[in-house]
Structure 1
Amino acid sequence: MTASPDLPRPDHRAAAALCVLLGSPEDLRRPGVREAAERARDLLRSGADADELATCYRALDTALRQAGDARGLDSESRGGTAPGITPHIKVAVCPGSTRCTRIERARDLLPAPHCAVNGTRMRKGRLGSAQ
């Protein structure tokens, strides 16, 4: 088994990775992953403190790695950002009070994607220079 790296303090990237993970039925079928992911989601929704979230994210990262996902939770391949997007493109962003950096391309005629962390649809907007 690969040693799990220390995750940074709970930040927006981990919340974005959690959101992408919760939207992936294949990943949630792995043993122990669904329970750990749902616990992290519940803590994030309830506004838990940073230490408690960090502990939960580490447990989820460990569950993913033990289930055979070498990426763990907080990796670039989980889709925390959308490289190559230019500022005039419409995007869907996190709608919650605990905002993550997940960005999805928003299609005009389709509803915004679902945010699994906050349990609502993402909000549509234009990509800003800070994103």
Structure 2
Amino acid sequence: MTASPYLPRPDRAAAALCTLLGSPEDLRQPGVREAAERARDLLRSGADAGELADCYAALDTALRRSGDARGLAGGSRSVTAPGVAPHIKVAVCPGSPLCARVERARDLLPAPHCAVHGTRMRKSRLGSAQ
């Protein structure tokens, strides 16, 4: 089995590494602990991006060879690190002019009702301006 052709941005790979290092079950697989510790040591020492990318690729390969199809940052590993989320879903005003109301939007529930415009709010991703 070979490494994934896709490796995440360095900050996401570091978050996935952090999560992996906190998972004793994943580190028990042959070759994974050594590759993870090497990546951690390179990251701590301030290694250059190319060397880190090679190390992340080796760690990805070790994970896949041990039977973890997610590799380093596939599946849910990269999003379970504290404070890391791909996006936050919110419900925003559906009308024009827009008001500043923002509510958390749950995936399986409909957006809340907007009493001003008489329709459901629109689901969106939380942006930096909100």
Kindly report which structure 2 residues correspond to 1:1-131, keeping only aligned pairs within 5 A, or say none.
Answer: 1=1, 3-8=2-7, 10-80=9-79, 81-82=84-85, 130=128
CA-to-aligned-CA distance 1:30-76 (integer Å, 9 cap, x gap): 00000000000000011100000000000000000001101000214
Q: Over the residues paired in the alignment, what is the CA RMSD in angstroms?
A: 2.4
TM-score (norm 2): 0.59
Q: Distance in 2 between matches of 1:84 and 1:49?
A: 29
Q: Secondary structure at the match of 1:4?
A: coil
Q: Which residue of 1 aligns with 2:118?
A: none
* Contact residue 43 and residue 53 of structure 1 kept, 8 A: yes
1:41–1:11: structure 2 CA closer, same or farther, 3 Å change rule?
Answer: same
Say which structure, 1 or 2, has more relative contact order (CA 8 Å, 6+ apart).
1
Q: Distance in 2 between matches of 1:9 and 1:74?
A: 7
Length, aligned pairs only: 89
Instruction: Report runs of 4+ in structure 1 exceeding 3 Å deviation.
Output: 7-10, 81-87
* Contact residue 43 and residue 52 of structure 2 kept, 8 A: yes
Q: Distance in 1 between matches of 2:87 and 2:57?
A: 30
**1:79 to partner: Cα distance:** 3.5
**Percent identity for Structure 1 against Structure 2:** 67
5+ unaligned residues in a row in structure 2: which ranges? 91-125
Q: Distance in 1 between matches of 2:42 and 2:24?
A: 20
1:29–1:5: structure 2 CA closer, same or farther, 3 Å change rule?
Answer: same
**1:10 to partner: Cα distance:** 4.9
Q: Which residue of 1 aligns with 2:110?
A: none
**1:11 to partner: Cα distance:** 1.4
